[in-house]
Amino acid sequence: MADRQTTEVDVIAPSGALWGLSCVDGHAHAVDPGAEHPEMGYFARCGHRVLRRIALDELPQGSRCPAGVPGSTR
Ligand SMILES: [Zn+2]
């Protein structure tokens, strides 16, 4: 199990991740800026995709993705 688990994270993205607001569903998804992403967008940790032209932010804009934060039970 090499998965990094963060349990203290609620509002702030999981360590190293930034929030990208999807214009498709209006939720903020946690994106790993250092990970590999396809040309057209970012792969969020939750599995959703966010358009690359949106700005990634340290704080989620709007509501967070319901699938969103690993370790969050709320
Ligand atoms: Zn998502």
Residue scoring higher pLDDT (53 or 4): 53
Where do the domains of the chain lie?
18-64
- 3 C-alpha to ligand 1 centroid (Å): 18
- 64 C-alpha to ligand 1 centroid (Å): 8
Residue 24's pLDDT is 85
Instruction: Report how far residue 47's alpha carbon sits from residue 56's, in angstroms, rounded to the nearest whole number.
Output: 16
Instruction: Report how far residue 3's alpha carbon sits from residue 49's, in angstroms, rounded to the nearest whole number.
Output: 21
Residue 74's pLDDT is 47
- 45 C-alpha to ligand 1 centroid (Å): 7
